[in-house]
Amino acid sequence: LSTLFFIHSLAMGWQHVNGVDLYYEQSGRGKHAVLLLPGALGSTRTDFGPQLKSLNKERFTVVGWDPRGYGQSRPPDRDFPSDFFERDAKDAVDLMKALGFARFSLLGWSDGGITALIAAARNPYLIRKMVVWGSNSFVSQHDLQLYEAVRDVSKWSARMRQPMEEVYGPEIFAKMWEAWVHGIAQFAKRPEGNICMELLPLISCPTFIIHGEKDPMVPSLHPQYLLKHIKGSRLHLMPEGKHNLHLKYADEFNKLVEDFLEE
């Protein structure tokens, strides 16, 4: 059962998928459907405002969603079992099917990029194209140190905390972030820190990797690894880009994405 309402040309609502109610927002009326996959603890609202607002509405139908336990897809509370990326990938694909999209493209940021990689590998006939940025397919010891350095959200700047605290409240946000750091760290115990390395050769859709060269969270060896192991993929470097390059340089990012999706 889905609940649906509209604000300006934006449809929003909940769709029951795999036993949970997933929140989504949809804009545009183009033939090419595109799913936006948010980062850790992320939601449509916090992660993709400029994309929902400004991606070409004549050519694309853009769907943003809050993965289970994030944003407005609560309850349930978010947990991080060893297969949480696989679970998100299945939820994402099943949500799009439930909304009536037979084939669609993926735009995945950070954790959402990992989810997109898995979804594309597992569903080659459903995924048209994929764009990922700020994403990794394994967790190195260096990555672990980066996560550990940001574990304590009280040390974040107020500006960095604010969007998340508005969604979750300060206490729940701090607790969830701690759980996420613990959740991502579990992959470092696997051989080579593997999250989804073995799936990369199974990806057959055209894949565009974007990387901000000043990304403090994702060292450049990650996009290079994806480029090497995803057949026919290409990499675009943004010299000034950090982790949130799609927000800070939204116009440039949106144009890159539109041009790629329309090729």
Tell me the pLDDT tens digit for each residue of 200-246: 999 999 999 999 999 999 999 999 999 999 999 999 999 999 999 99
With respect to residue 249, please indicate whether it lies within any of the assigned structural domains.
yes
Looking at every residue in the chain, the average pLDDT score rounds to 96
pLDDT at residue 10 in the model: 81
With respect to residue 168, please indicate whether it lies within any of the assigned structural domains.
no
With respect to residue 117, please indicate whether it lies within any of the assigned structural domains.
yes
pLDDT at 67 over 80: yes
Determine the distance from the C-alpha atom of residue 174 to the mean position of all C-alpha atoms in its chain, rounded to a whole number. Answer: 20
Measure the CA–CA gap between 127 and 29, rounded to whole angstroms: 19
H-assigned helices in the chain: 44-47, 49-54, 84-98, 111-122, 141-149, 158-168, 170-185, 221-229, 245-248, 250-262
Question: Would you please indicate which residues are annotated as catalytic (active-site) residues?
Answer: 110, 215, 243
pLDDT at 6 over 60: no
With respect to residue 163, please indicate whether it lies within any of the assigned structural domains.
no
With respect to residue 175, please indicate whether it lies within any of the assigned structural domains.
no
With respect to residue 169, please indicate whether it lies within any of the assigned structural domains.
no
pLDDT at residue 45 in the model: 87
The torsion region of residue 250 among left (phi > 0), alpha (psi -120 to 50) and beta comes to: alpha
Tokens of 50: 């400029």
| CB neighbourhood size of 92 (10 A) | 27
With respect to residue 106, please indicate whether it lies within any of the assigned structural domains.
yes
Instruction: Specify the CATH number for the domain of residue 128.
Output: 3.40.50.1820
With respect to residue 38, please indicate whether it lies within any of the assigned structural domains.
yes
- Tell me the residue range of the domain where 26 lies: 2-137+197-262
Stretch 64-85: mean pLDDT: 97
pLDDT at 262 over 60: yes
Helix (H, G, I), strand (E, B) or coil at 197: helix
| CB neighbourhood size of 98 (10 A) | 15
Determine the distance from the C-alpha atom of residue 79 to the mean position of all C-alpha atoms in its chain, rounded to a whole number. Answer: 17
Number of domains in the chain: 1
Residues sharing a CB contact under 8 Å with residue 102, sequence separation 6 or more, in sequence order: 126
Q: Which of 263, 41, 10, 35 is nearest to 172 (CA)?
A: 41
pLDDT at 187 over 80: yes
